[in-house]
Amino acid sequence: MAKLTKEQLFFWKLKHDRKWYVEKFLKIRNKQAKIISFVLNPAQKIVMDIIEKDEREGRLKRYIVLKARQMGLSTLFEALIFHDTANNDNKTSLIVAHEDTASSNLFNMSKLYYEELPDLIRPMKKYSNGRVLQFENPENDESIKKDNPGLRSKITIATAGTGEVARSSTNHNVHASEVAFWPDASTTMLSLMQSVPDETNTLVVLESTANGVGDYFHDMWNKAVRGENEFTPIFLAWFVDPTYTRNFPSEAAKQQFLEEISIISTDGNGGQVRTYEWELMNKHGLTLEQLNWRRYTIANKCQGDEEKFMQEYPSTPEEAFISSGRPKFSIKALKKYQTITKAPQRGYLQLCPDGGVSFIEDPNGYISIWKHPEPGQFYCIGADVAEGLVEGDYSAACVGNSETFDIEAIWHGHIDPDLYGLELQKLGKFYNDAYLGVENNNHGLTTLTTLKKQEYWNLYFSKSYDKISEKVTQKLGWTTSSRTKPLMIDKLAEFIREFYLGIYSDLIISEAFTYIIEDNGKTNAQIGCYDDTIMATAIMLQLLLEGKGDSYVPEIPIDQRNNIKKDIIDPLFESNESDEFSD
């Protein structure tokens, strides 16, 4: 390949080096109303790196971005769309906002990009009317225009819920801004997605802060996280933004703040408990100034409501999607659990020729493991059975340690009920022939039949008293009824509130956040959400308690009973002040 001249290299970079183009030529209006060069902030760099990596690897560029407020993501996506449209022929781009004011703001961004470009690289513009920025020769003389037509590319700005959204038959770039606030987002996005070719030179971005649960954006986010669509999920917590920090008025005020968040209290079980702010700082490496900004923002911008702050400025995706119903599980406890969740090993189980079971690591596997089985340890498994439809509920199983009450593994996925029986057989055998309780609903009977055929011996039987015969009868599997469901969910709520369970799964905590008490007093997942791991965990807990009594509280050392306490204690206290934490 011949060496490029400086001029050739310049025009090559103009088309292909997005970051160079954005930071070299584009201008933005900052919060002080000054026109400045566009320099990528940390959040924008995270997103840019993901997009450029996908482009290098030839992947389809489809993204769903869940973010805290004012991260500069719209500014970035408009810049990327502007770059592609203003440097290539025949490109059609569409930007859709949730309201007219936002649409105008987005158009003004693109307009400013164009106006501030150097003359050398500014494409011809046919018109700019507040809704369309068209790069084409404005000459009315067709003979002149034929020889030099310009790019024939355009950027259209639209507002969701209006007829203009789906006018274009083909779009190469689509930015759906604040899609969680669109009216009828599902119908609009269905139309929009048909307009985008499945080509690697196209871009689709769904970007929004959260707006509760059960809507189109929440559903698309969950499916992206589970790998059920082509969208790459990108979450940007509030503390990614370096401007979300607030200095203290004095060193004394800073020291007082540190003392407040460092308070250690004792819970009803004798365990040492840190403040949530301390745990947040410890898990994410936050500064005191960042926590000071958080506290200030809650008080002054979120009406003193921490849950409103969590939705507007989340630390985790689960915080963003706060349930709009009355939660069954303690939000305070769930927030604490979020500080100790961790990534599991993902994979699947395989039967070995010798009759044993081995774990095969695979990022797409149905099984998540936080701790592998220990010889001689007794485990219980609670299993919820779904129909097996791709779009329906999930089948889920939770593995609990009978000594520590930690959830050490979960199985979660779509599968036919009979095949699920084979998976549960392997899971049970892997965890030392675990005591297995399978919900005996319609589909559960199919799963249980498979387990019986496979001669899995350690199965749970429901017990009931027959008043007529005065005998106790047994039925294979766990029976969830109007009588047993409130009892099992109440017990799970107690164990979560008191931190008796060790839960390290973001999925379980996510479902717990959106599990609500309905107006009639019944408990269920909020509309558009799931509760499969909640039901599996509740069944597992009943099995763990079966031989210990309903009022059982784990009687083991604090540092073993709830690794939660151990995991959130700063290493400073583990080294020199360990006596404080002994039982």
* Closest residue by Cα to residue 220 from 257, 241, 192: 192
SS3 348: strand
Helix axes 331-338, 506-513, angle to 10 degrees: 160
pLDDT given for residue 571 in this prediction: 33
SS3 154: strand
**Cβ of 332: how many Cβ atoms within 10 Å?**
10
> Which residue positions in the chain have pLDDT lower than 70?
1-2, 162-168, 266-271, 323-325, 388-392, 465-470, 547-583
Dig out the tokens for 111 from the structure: 């307009």
Query: Which class in CATH covers the domain with range 6-236?
Result: alpha beta
| Cβ atoms of residues 515 and 534 within 8 Å | yes
| Cβ atoms of residues 156 and 130 within 8 Å | no
Over residues 488-537, the pLDDT tens digits come to 999 999 999 988 999 999 999 989 988 988 888 899 988 878 899 999 99
**End-to-end Cα spacing for the chain:** 72
pLDDT given for residue 566 in this prediction: 41
Between CA 462 and CA 531 the distance in angstroms is 22
H/E segment holding residue 347 = strand 345-351
Provide CB contacts within 8 A for 328, sequence distance 6+.
489, 493, 515, 516, 517, 523
pLDDT given for residue 283 in this prediction: 87
| Cβ atoms of residues 516 and 524 within 8 Å | yes
579 DSSP assignment: G
pLDDT given for residue 562 in this prediction: 41
- CA quadruple 363, 369, 374, 375: dihedral, nearest 10: -60
The string of DSSP letters for 209-266 reads: ----SSSHHHHHHHHHHTT-SSPEEEEE-GGGSTT-----SSHHHHHHHHHHHT-EEE
pLDDT given for residue 546 in this prediction: 86
Domain ranges, ordered by start, for the chain? 6-236, 345-552
pLDDT given for residue 550 in this prediction: 59
Please state whether beta strands 127-128 and 35-37 pair in parallel, antiparallel, or not at all (unpaired). Answer: unpaired
Half-sphere exposure of 571 (CA within 13 A, CB side): 1
Q: Cα–Cα distances in Å, from 71 out to 44, 142, 173, 541? A: 8, 45, 21, 41
pLDDT given for residue 265 in this prediction: 76
> CA 87, 91, 96 angle in degrees (round to 5)?
110
Instruction: Say yes or no: domain 345-552 is CATH 3.30.43.10.
Output: no
Q: In what order do the strands lie in the sheet with 435-438?
A: 357-361, 345-351, 367-369, 407-413, 395-401, 379-384, 435-438
Provide CB contacts within 8 A for 143, sequence distance 6+.
none
